[in-house]
A and B are shown apart, each in its own frame.
Chain A
Amino acid sequence: MTTMPLEKRIVFLTGKGGVGKSTVAAALGLVATRRGKRTIVCEVAQQERMSSVFHTEGVGYHETEIADDLYAFSIDPQRALEEYLQLQIKIKPIYDLMFKNRIFTYFAAATPGLRELVTIGKVWELAQLDRRVKRGAKYDLVIVDAPATGHGIGILRTPKTFSDIARVGPIKRQADAIYDFITDSDLTSVCAVAWPEEMPVNETLDLRRNLHEELGLDLDRVFMNGLYPELFSDDEAATVRERLEHDEAANGAGSVVLRAALRAALSEHRRATAQREQLQRLRAESGEDVVELPFLFRAQVDMEAVAELADVIEDRV
């Protein structure tokens, strides 16, 4: 039997902007803690979305407890790089020299993929039971709220690229270790979040292909977020349409609110239908385990909303 995503050590979540990645990451985190796992949700690229979901101050580059057994962390590549080099260069004057010079910023920017490497390196470090960082606590699970699709796969690819460029040295060894870890499907789960519209589905399918071709990885789960419920059958929608049109044509007795309610029903039917087409397309073209998530009819994404999603995905992850 294959390992369920949350039974692994890293869950890497990617997807197009605006599809609700952070919310899904939070819901996964919640499910994991319900199972008694000490979990950390990492944001990449300083979005501080977790803080807004959990109504905490910006978490920043600190492992911050936001709920029982649930931690949040925001990976700043610059800080990760400094931390990494501090571990490598034990001679303080050299370390100071590097960071007191602006040249170093240029280097970080110019070295191919260095920012991505230290980012995925930090994720890997958090997932180690033997933490490198002094006094670092152990986590059972690391959930990564990764950048939008293109950049997300870039981060996964980096260790391999580095391992190829650097033939020797500590980075080569570490890049290999990270690569082995993230490509081991018993240890790392790569998942995508999609939205039932044309573009996000296309991106998910592209992601799947690229992951497979470039890294030999398969998507563990695709979370299809934002699905409207199918409240009306085609027949019911037809009835509603017929009554509404009839009433309007005859300038009938229907009140303004009544007509509005009927219109809303037709709108829901159309949207739900269009979304199911995208869902079918995703299912047909991708063999992944698609997990359906409902559209949240809520004013704001808060803890309650996250808990609602957690209930839905609980058995699937």
Chain B
Amino acid sequence: MDVGDLLEDKQICICAGSGGVGKTTTSAAIAMGMAARGLKVAVLTIDPAKRLANSLGLPELGNEERMIEPERFAAHGIEMKGELWAMMLDAKRTFDDLVERHAPDEEARDRILQNRIYKEISNAMAGSQEYMAMEKLYELHQEARYDLLVLDTPPTRHALDFIDAPERMSRFIEGRSLQFFLKPGRLGMRVVGRSGGVLFSALKRITGIDLLQDLSEFFQSFGDMAQGFSERAQRVKELLGQRGTTFLLVTAPQREAIDEGVFFWRRLKEARLPFGGVVVNKVHRDFVAMNGAVAGTDSPEDDLIAELERFLDGDGDLAATVYENFERYQALAARDRENLARLTERLDDDCIVCVPYLDEDVHDIEGLAQVNAYLFGSATERREILEKSGV
């Protein structure tokens, strides 16, 4: 199985995973691979490495998608049969745009954009980035200008946080609980009920901040928009569960990352969301197994050191160092193999694609092409590439 098969007939591919596992690179590689196959693809990314962004010609990229010139790929011998578009997600901008679209008039819009609570939510509140990623995804899907959308999700602690984001966010914006305390009056909202009054004054005394004004303004301004927001959140949720959507988990072969992967898979199933597969990045190459032999059986330790010494003009020190290094590499490969087994215990072997730990960081089109060789290659092709690479 390869990523190409996995994404056949899909319109949306969501790459999820915890921080530091190479999600952004993987998203870009997948988008590039599918575009090369002839699709019109847009990748929505969060924060690509500067060198990667530069190599794609995206340093000045904003919150709108832009097409990456086919010449950039041609220069690396990649024939781009389709089109690759990319954008960098700007949560604050997306939120502002949304307000602009839903606000009844200019005055209402400005009131919201200036509101202290709105600023906090749109900038920093946990979940807003995730919510806005979904929002942008929904918007692009509605416009139906692309064959495939690839979403690189924000780096959350847990790969899943973003799934619940739309609902959490719309619940907040509706502010149903607050409506028990706040009633619209002529001069904005006023606090009703004895408990409400006590609560607000206690808070004001402690924090020194009179939030009442901001809160009342916020919920009043959003009052008319709240309905629209929650309907939209509902539709985003439906979009995530539809047949044309697939979730790919991006992970690394370390124990923690693998365990989180299994957890993610289970949660997706519980939420009835379509799970597509797992991409395991930075897998340490098993140099021996790769060549069809099993470690240790071919050449016992002393034999190997002796053979190395012979090969390296009798340089015993160098031979010993090469051996020592090889042992370490094999140990890492064994560790990865063990951790991957934890994954295959639960998940179908067929939905796991491994990308080896390449000798250099991936930060340009060349590197993406290398990653793609694994993502899109058949098992035999992958092996052939491995045998050729590294030397």
Contacts and interface: CB of A to CB of B under 8 A. Distances in A.
A199 interface: yes
Q: Is the interface of B mostly helix, strand, loop or mixed?
A: helix
Interface string A8-50: 0000000011110000000000000000000000000111000
A257 B288 contact: yes
B125 A261 contact: no
Contact of B293 (A239, A245, A257): A257
A299 B295 CA distance: 17
Given A89-B202, A103-B181, A266-B391, A257 B215 contact: no
Interface stretch (A58-66, A180-188, A213-221, A268-276): A268-276
B109 interface: no
The interface size bin for chain A is: 35 or more
Contacts of A299: 331, 334-335, 338
B326 A260 contact: yes
Given A148-B19, A231-B321, A256 B391 contact: no
A45 B51 CA distance: 30
Contacts of A17: 18-20, 155
A298 to B, nearest CB: 8
Given A256-B293, A258-B299, A266-B391, A198 B51 contact: yes
B205 A47 contact: no
The interface size bin for chain B is: 35 or more
Contacts of A112: 116-117, 119-120
Interface in A263-290: 263-268, 270-271, 274
B322 A165 contact: no
Contacts of A166: 207-209
A257 B312 contact: no
A168 B206 CA distance: 9
Contacts of B175: 106
B359 A274 contact: yes
B3 interface: no
B318 interface: yes
B311 A110 contact: no
A111 B209 contact: yes
Nearest to B330: A264
A92 interface: no
Nearest to A278: B361
Given A271-B359, A299-B331, A85 B206 contact: yes
Interface string A190-206: 00000101110010000
Contacts of B328: 297
B61 interface: no
A135 interface: no
Contacts of A97: 195, 198-199
A89 B205 CA distance: 10
A110 B323 contact: no
B19 to A, nearest CB: 2
Residue in B198, B208, B390 whose Cβ sees the most chain A Cβ within 10 Å: B208
Contact of A261 (B50, B120, B198, B326): B326
Interface in B173-197: 175, 177-178, 180-181, 195
A172 interface: yes
A154 B125 CA distance: 12
Contact of B391 (A46, A168, A245): A245
A266 B390 contact: yes
A198 B22 CA distance: 12
A231 B287 contact: no
A240 B322 CA distance: 9
B11 to A, nearest CB: 29
B311 A258 contact: yes
A85 to B, nearest CB: 7
A6 B328 CA distance: 33
B178 A106 contact: yes
B25 to A, nearest CB: 9
A195 B282 CA distance: 14
Contacts of B331: 297, 299
B359 to A, nearest CB: 4
Contacts of B360: 270-271, 274
Residue in B203, B209, B215, B218 whose Cβ sees the most chain A Cβ within 10 Å: B209
Nearest to B210: A166
B195 A101 contact: yes
Interface string A93-107: 010011001111111
A254 B321 contact: no
A3 interface: no
A166 B181 CA distance: 23
A313 B326 CA distance: 27
A106 B200 CA distance: 13
Contacts of A16: 19-20
A133 interface: no
Interface of B: 18-21, 49-51, 116-117, 119-121, 124-125, 155, 157, 172, 175, 177-178, 180-181, 195, 198-199, 202-203, 205-209, 211, 215, 218, 252, 255-256, 285, 287-288, 290-293, 295, 298-299, 304, 307-308, 311-313, 315, 318, 321-326, 328-332, 334-335, 338, 359-361, 363, 390-391
Interface of A: 16-19, 45-47, 52, 85, 88-89, 94, 97-98, 101-107, 109-114, 147-148, 154, 165-172, 195, 197-199, 202, 231-232, 236, 239-241, 243-245, 247-248, 254-268, 270-271, 274, 297, 299-300
9 contacts: A94-B202, A110-B172, A112-B120, A113-B124, A202-B50, A247-B311, A254-B311, A263-B287, A271-B360
Nearest 6 A-B pairs (CB), nearest first?
A: A18-B20, A17-B19, A169-B208, A166-B208, A260-B287, A261-B326
Given A103-B180, A114-B207, A231-B325, 7 more contacts: A16-B20, A17-B155, A101-B177, A110-B120, A111-B120, A240-B322, A261-B322
